Structure 1
Amino acid sequence: MAPKSFDMIVIGAGPGGYVAAIRGAQLGLDVAIVEREHMGGICLNWGCIPTKAMLRSAEVFHLMHRAGEFGLKADGLDYDLDAVVKRSRDVAKQLNSGVGHLLKKNKVTAIMGEATVPAKGRVSVRTDKGTEDLEAPNIVLATGARARELPGLEADGDLVWTYKHALKPPRMPKKLLVIGSGAIGIEFASFYNTLGAETTVVEVMDRILPVEDAEISAMAKKSFQKQKMTIMEKAMVKELERGKGKVTAHIETAGKVEKHEFDAVISAVGIVGNTEGLGLEELGVKVEKSHVVTDPHCRTGVEGVYAIGDLAGAPWLAHKASHEGVMVAERIAGGDPHPVSPDSIAGCTYCHPQVASVGMTEAQAKEHGLKIRVGRFPFIGNGKALAMGEAEGMVKTIFDEGTGELLGAHMIGAEVTELIQGYVVGRQLETTEEDLMHAVFPHPTLSEMMHESVLDAYGRVIHI
């Protein structure tokens, strides 16, 4: 039987793949998408969305404990972990079915099954009904990534968890160890700590949230410690001794190994790309450190084969994958879109307090030999923050002294994951400090801190 022909075949229906497929269809291409597990991928089913739903429950629980501060009374505060998890799964399920609907609406052929690329322009899909052969001059690899497992620290779902287990926990941990303090590790640490688990975070680098600006990391650490979290930096888990209902972690700091006992461990030590079983090596697609090597336009070096999202390397963010998906679809349809610039992509961490950033850190700007101006504004100087009862946090902006270019912005505090987009748009429009100073920010809002931080960089701050 002759293979079914398409203009474009997408492998993987996460936030990169399904967006690429929809954009391709909008541009008049005949598109097929293959997904082996869940429409919406990890982000929607086991990542961004369900974690935010759970973190929202933790945030509300935290606020309930602060009722007295707001002149309110709340007694007998408690939570039902199963109900928290159920709400999170229901939110994911609603969006999962939404992706299927969007694909159908845009006339994308969706196939559930496992894909391989036996030759250039060919895709073979193993479905529960047998094998289906497809062909297209353009193939987009969007197979994503999975949790990295370190030898001896492998997850078992009972005592040692990956993010998947942490989203559907077998029980509420009393003493929790989180290995890794990137966004995933810190978000889970924040969630379980807020619900009452005695939480320890171990980070191998010299500070937590190591990709963030050092000043923001330091503020986050202080805040987490205030919430009774134990933070261990420049530390490494050498061994996990698993017993009945408990894990003894051998943690090395400053050359000394100490044993600590926990009843649950979450491993969040990075991710590896899903490159196996696709036939990439035979095809001539280059893979380095589990990620597909691409040029700035997401081309792999094999004609007609593209790779987007987590599979194509850092930053491992859903919005980067979606944007790359749109770019690739437009390129396939004959357009000439701009490549996605990694330093224009904001990172958001939904711990308590939230952390968000875009562009260069202060250290990176100095490493580039740039002369800079740095502005800061604290939440405690903002009327809306005080009215919200959220006086903890800071907005920091970094400018090129010579040109006034906004090089980077870094924030910690309430709702900063929403605020950061103002600076993202500013950078996209190649804004200068003057443009930002002349923009009128509404009052009373948290966004006024963004304005004041810019003013502070130039010695013009009003409210501190």
Structure 2
Amino acid sequence: MMAAQTQDFDVVVIGGGPGGYVAALRAAQLGLRTALVERESLGGICLNWGCIPTKALLHAADTLRRIRHAGALGITVSAPEVDFGKLVARSRQVSQRLNRGVAHLLGKAGVGVFMGTASIPAAGQVRVAGAQGRPQLLRAARTIVATGARARELPMLPFDGDRVWSYRDALSARSLPRSLAVVGAGAIGMEFASFYAALGTEVTVVEAAPRVLPASDEEVSAFVQQAMARDGVRFLVGARLQQGQVRADGVHLTVEQGGAAQQLQAERVLVAVGLAGNVDGLGLERTRVAVEQGLIRVADWGATAEPGIHAIGDVTGAPMLAHKASHEAIACVEHIAGLRQGAQHRAPIPACVYGHPQSAGVGLTEAQARQRGGEVRVGRFPLEGNGKAIAIDEAAGFVKTVFDAATGELLGAHLVGPEATELVHGYTLAATLETTEAELMETVFPHPTLSEAMHEAVLAAYGRALHI
């Protein structure tokens, strides 16, 4: 066995996704000798097989919808035709461009990048085994595990890349399926359901919970389901998958709903039932790092039970979001560098769903706010009362705010409709600054913009809305 070449660093980061590469960049900025190990593609799942390519596909679907509805604006166009192969190819090109961008940033920052599979033979050491070349042994006082997560399989429907899809397969399909069953109505399932339905696929969504987008505010979930149903998506909620069989003519599913069994058949099935942390093969069992149900247990600043080993991002559990991983990366590295001490402040993390209609939220849902006790004030403002929404012919949706009645604290905010994912940051900023209703009411929102609905939703919580 070839002896490993040894190199010394201050910090070694395992995983090159939005948690890992941001951690490496920040560490290098702070003057720490930094190494990054990535086994597949810089940028991780998010950039290569998740956040970015799905948004490229969804943008194409949104463009198609706008063309189809151009007649309502007085624009006559011929019936659009979809080149599915070109559409998918463009999404891959977008990812490849950003992948090269991450490599450039890491090189410019002086981060040592090692492409290969990482394992931890002992605390303070990371072994890198590549497909080619001499194995490397990286030594550092601090190791940051940012290995992310992968799609969770169903035993009865293992991924085969043909009939049974993971999100990767849905992103790189060679042809448009005539019919698609989506198992799981979380963000991933709903985004792909929206995309394929827009292109003409017959889509059925199966969700075990009593509603779609179970983590969202209930009113948002109901609105999204109704809107997508009008677009032709069929929903089976409160429905459990009992059996799945892959046959020559497609996938046959048995679903139990309300005590009755029903049969479904689809050309393809997308399984989107959650994610599992990437902890296998890391050698964590040789350390004191605690792993529970495939996730690494962490305390403040990503500290694990093994001194010197930290973990951030999806591998530490929900919410499994790229921006949360990046935020944790910076906090962890700055703690390592001595810039942050004491108890870690937990910033509000927004969640976004980019299908049609878009939805986004930050903080507590109305139900969660009421469950915690105390009086709450809830404001709702429909986009039908917003001039910009009417002008762009996208007045379906609403904005909702939840306040603590005693203190005026913004407990939560939820949006559904055009550009909801671009607007939610305003409420996130307000929550981060611990803004109350008083400051939000005094904030001047430009006219005419969709953001005015955010202002009106605050006013509505206190009986002061002007345009409803």
Q: CA deviation at 1:2?
A: 6.6
Candidates 96, 101, 109, aligned match of 1:98: 101
Candidates 107, 121, 125, aligned match of 2:124: 121
Does the CA contact (< 8 Å) of 2:163 and 2:267 recur in 1?
yes
Q: CA deviation at 1:297?
A: 1.6
Q: CA deviation at 1:340?
A: 5.6
Candidates 429, 439, 447, aligned match of 2:443: 439
Candidates 265, 271, 275, aligned match of 1:267: 271
Does the CA contact (< 8 Å) of 1:142 and 1:307 recur in 2?
yes
Q: CA deviation at 1:341?
A: 2.0
The answer to whether the aligner puts 1:360 opposite 2:347 as a matched pair is no
User: Given residue 263 of structure 1, which amino acid in structure 2 is its aligned partner?
Assistant: E
Residues 2-401 of structure 1 mapped to structure 2, 5 A cutoff:
3-127=6-130, 128-336=132-340, 339=344, 341=346, 344-401=348-405
Instruction: Report the identity percentage.
Output: 50
Q: Equivalents in 2 of 1:182, 1:276: separation in Å?
A: 25
Q: Equivalents in 1 of 2:399, 2:188: separation in Å?
A: 22
User: Given residue 296 of structure 2, which amino acid in structure 1 is its aligned partner?
Assistant: V
Q: Equivalents in 2 of 1:451, 1:268: separation in Å?
A: 35
Q: Equivalents in 2 of 1:233, 1:85: separation in Å?
A: 30
Q: Equivalents in 2 of 1:313, 1:233: separation in Å?
A: 25
Does the CA contact (< 8 Å) of 1:359 and 1:408 recur in 2?
yes
Q: Which residue of 1 aligns with 2:456?
A: 452
Does the CA contact (< 8 Å) of 1:159 and 1:245 recur in 2?
no
Give 5+ residue unaligned stretches, structure 2.
Answer: none
Does the CA contact (< 8 Å) of 1:52 and 1:350 recur in 2?
yes
Question: What is the aligned length?
Answer: 463
Worse-matched range after superposition: 49-58 or 326-335: 326-335
Q: CA deviation at 1:185?
A: 0.3
Deviation beyond 6 Å, 4+ runs, structure 1? none
Q: Equivalents in 2 of 1:261, 1:115: separation in Å?
A: 42
428 and 334 in structure 1: CA distance in 2 versus 1, 3 angstrom threshold: same
TM-score (norm 2): 0.98
Q: Equivalents in 2 of 1:165, 1:405: separation in Å?
A: 43
Output one character per residue of 1:195-223: Cα deviation in whole Å (capped at 9) or x when no partner: 01111101100100000000110111110
SS at 1:281's partner residue?
helix
User: Given residue 344 of structure 2, which amino acid in structure 1 is its aligned partner?
Assistant: P
SS at 1:130's partner residue?
coil
Q: CA deviation at 1:245?
A: 3.3
Q: Equivalents in 2 of 1:405, 1:45: separation in Å?
A: 38
Q: Equivalents in 2 of 1:281, 1:341: separation in Å?
A: 29
Q: CA deviation at 1:116?
A: 0.4
Output one character per residue of 1:356-404: Cα deviation in whole Å (capped at 9) or x when no partner: 0000001101110021000000011000001111010000000000000
Does the CA contact (< 8 Å) of 2:56 and 2:91 recur in 1?
yes
Q: Equivalents in 1 of 2:229, 2:206: separation in Å?
A: 13
Does the CA contact (< 8 Å) of 1:309 and 1:322 recur in 2?
yes
Output one character per residue of 1:401-436: Cα deviation in whole Å (capped at 9) or x when no partner: 000000000010000100000000000111000000
SS at 1:202's partner residue?
strand
Q: CA deviation at 1:238?
A: 1.4
Does the CA contact (< 8 Å) of 2:68 and 2:79 recur in 1?
no
User: Given residue 85 of structure 1, which amino acid in structure 2 is its aligned partner?
Assistant: V
Q: CA deviation at 1:296?
A: 2.6
SS at 1:133's partner residue?
strand
Q: Equivalents in 2 of 1:132, 1:2: separation in Å?
A: 5
Q: CA deviation at 1:109?
A: 0.3
SS at 2:424's partner residue?
helix
Q: CA deviation at 1:99?
A: 0.3
340 and 388 in structure 1: CA distance in 2 versus 1, 3 angstrom threshold: farther
User: Given residue 136 of structure 1, which amino acid in structure 2 is its aligned partner?
Assistant: A
Q: Equivalents in 2 of 1:50, 1:437: separation in Å?
A: 38
User: Given residue 251 of structure 2, which amino acid in structure 1 is its aligned partner?
Assistant: V
Output one character per residue of 1:18-73: Cα deviation in whole Å (capped at 9) or x when no partner: 00000000001000000000000000000000000000000000111001011001
Output one character per residue of 1:297-327: Cα deviation in whole Å (capped at 9) or x when no partner: 2101100000000001110000000011111
Q: CA deviation at 1:144?
A: 0.4
Q: CA deviation at 1:254?
A: 1.2
